[in-house]
């Protein structure tokens, strides 16, 4: 509050107090008796215990009300004046800023429009404006930077881009060619072996030996994605870093394990168990880095909801059907959650290819290998109905 207003309020209060004290003294003298017994030698107590008549109380209240009203009115008027002054100052400052900006842009326009002569290819000078030269240099720099970035980016991630391009150039070659080649080789071997058979086998049931053998998984853990023609080993890194909450060491363990395949993320569920079986793999990596799986998940984005893949883990096989496909931020660790009421699996890789900006997440539900029905908690896979092998069916 400004000092003049404070001084005026204090002056009015002192005047009112003097008037009230004079009136109280006159009334006390007229009545010739105090309202209570107080020591005569204590003036403060004498003034404190004096009774004020009702007529004077009303007058005091009226004067106090008038004084408060004047104070509030003065304060409001002063506040309005201050706000008005501030608004006027702001408007003036804005006008000054606009005026200065106009002068600055005018000077810049005059500078950019100044003519400049540049020697041409035939040594004949050409006239340009400074603004035109600035745009030409900017376009040249931008084009050069874009070309260099594209070349370096492609060189660093050529394995991933080649894997993606190859699937579009010859979409059936990666699937049919190996099968045809294998069938030719197998047929040649069968022809050679057939000539060495010592005798015919005993006639009996028509079951072949491969039909009656139990279906077992490979000796190592693997993930098989038929639609991407992928058959990749699953590596299990140590869990000591996770137990010690040593996140730097955990990252190093995962990166080291990614050299040998895709990684079963430490601490997540195993296939067939309640929870989230989490697999991560590279979509691209430095060409000079060790390992041959640097682009194993480069085509993971080609998977769609409804596609299936197989997991061979611990000698057993597990079938999964994709339910969800999404992209998340690297800081979103909720994808590592372990729901106790589900049997799901998650595939993760970096996206877009060649960057670490986001993470591609593929969530799948475990289904029965035989019936294809969703697997519930505690439910076992359907038993193989293939008949048991009889000894009399074996060749002599």
Q: Provide the b/e sequence for 74-104 (b: ≥16 CB within 10 Å).
A: beeeeeeeeeeeeeeeeeeeeeeeeeeeeee
Residue spans of the domains in the chain: they are 3-31+38-97, 119-156, 217-367
CB contact at 8 A, 295 and 282: yes
Residue carrying the six token digits 């593929």: 362
> Residue-wise pLDDT tens for the chain (396 aa)?
555 555 665 666 566 666 656 655 655 555 544 444 545 555 554 555 456 667 777 787 888 888 888 888 888 988 898 988 899 999 999 999 999 998 898 888 888 888 877 776 777 777 777 888 788 888 888 888 888 877 776 666 656 666 667 666 765 444 444 444 455 555 555 455 444 444 333 333 333 433 443 455 667 899 999 988 889 999 999 888 888 888 889 889 988 999 999 999 988 899 989 999 999 998 888 878 888 888 899 889 999 999 999 999 988 899 999 999 999 998 898 899 999 999 999 999 998 888 888 999 999 999 998 888 888 888 887 765 544 444 454 444
Residues 6+ apart with CB under 8 A from 100: none
> 265: which 2 tokens?
């993320």
CB contact at 8 A, 264 and 225: no
CB contact at 8 A, 211 and 393: no
φ and ψ of 220, to 5 deg:
-115, 160
d(CA 145, CA 139): 10
CB contact at 8 A, 231 and 262: no
CB contact at 8 A, 349 and 300: yes
Domain covering 217-367, topology: Sortase; Chain: A; (2.40.260)
- Coil, helix or strand at residue 197: coil
Peptide bond between residue 352 and the one before it cis (omega within 30 degrees of 0): yes
Three state DSSP letters for 138-186: HHHHHHHHHHHHHHHHHHHCHHHHHHHHHHHHCCCHHHHHHHHHHHHHH
d(CA 62, CA 19): 14
Residues 6+ apart with CB under 8 A from 281: 232, 258, 261, 262, 263, 293, 296, 297, 300, 347, 348, 349
What is the per-residue pLDDT for 379? 81
Residue carrying the six token digits 């029905």: 373
What is the per-residue pLDDT for 320? 95
Q: Is 158 exposed, middle or buried (0-12, 13-18, 19+ CB in 10 A)?
A: middle
CB atoms within 10 A of CB 151: 10
Which ranges of the chain would DSSP assign to H, the alpha helix? Answer: 3-31, 43-48, 54-112, 130-156, 158-169, 173-194, 209-212, 240-243, 247-257
């Amino acid at each position: 509050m400004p000092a003049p207003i404070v001084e005026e309020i204090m002056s009015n209060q002192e005047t009112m107090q003097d008037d009230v004290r004079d009136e109280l003294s006159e009334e006390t003298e007229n009545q010739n008796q105090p309202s209570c017994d107080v020591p005569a030698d204590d003036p403060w107590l004498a003034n404190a215990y004096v009774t004020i008549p009702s007529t004077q109380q009303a007058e005091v209240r009226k004067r106090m009300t008038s004084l408060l009203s004047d104070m509030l009115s003065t304060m409001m008027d002063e506040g309005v004046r201050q706000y008005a002054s501030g608004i006027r100052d702001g408007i003036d400052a804005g006008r000054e800023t606009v005026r200065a900006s106009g002068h600055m842009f005018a000077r810049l326009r005059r500078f950019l429009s100044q003519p400049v002569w540049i020697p041409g290819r035939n040594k004949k000078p050409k006239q340009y404006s400074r603004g035109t030269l600035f745009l030409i240099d900017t376009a040249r720099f931008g084009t050069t930077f874009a070309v260099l970035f594209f070349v370096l980016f492609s060189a660093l991630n050529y394995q991933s881009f080649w894997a993606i391009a190859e699937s579009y150039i010859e979409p059936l070659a990666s699937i049919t060619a190996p099968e045809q080649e294998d069938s030719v080789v197998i047929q040649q071997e069968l022809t050679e072996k057939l000539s060495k058979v010592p005798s015919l086998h005993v006639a009996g049931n028509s079951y072949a030996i491969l039909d009656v053998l139990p279906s077992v998984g490979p000796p190592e853990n693997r993930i098989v994605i038929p639609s991407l023609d992928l058959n990749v080993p699953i590596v299990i890194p140590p869990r000591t870093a996770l137990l010690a909450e040593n996140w730097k060491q955990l990252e190093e363990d995962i990166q080291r394990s990614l050299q040998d395949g895709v990684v079963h993320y430490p601490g997540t569920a195993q296939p067939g168990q309640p929870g989230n079986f989490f697999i991560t793999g590279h979509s691209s990596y430095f060409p000079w880095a060790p390992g041959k799986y640097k682009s194993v998940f480069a085509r993971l984005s080609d998977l769609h909801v409804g596609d299936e893949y197989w997991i061979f883990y611990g000698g057993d096989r597990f079938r999964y059907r994709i339910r969800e496909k999404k992209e998340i931020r690297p800081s979103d660790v909720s994808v590592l959650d372990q729901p106790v009421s589900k049997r799901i699996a998650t595939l993760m890789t970096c996206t877009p290819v060649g960057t670490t900006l986001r993470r591609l997440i593929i969530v799948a539900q475990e289904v029965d290998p035989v019936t294809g029905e969703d697997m519930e908690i505690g439910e076992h896979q359907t038993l193989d109905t293939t008949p048991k092998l009889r000894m009399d069916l074996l060749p002599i």
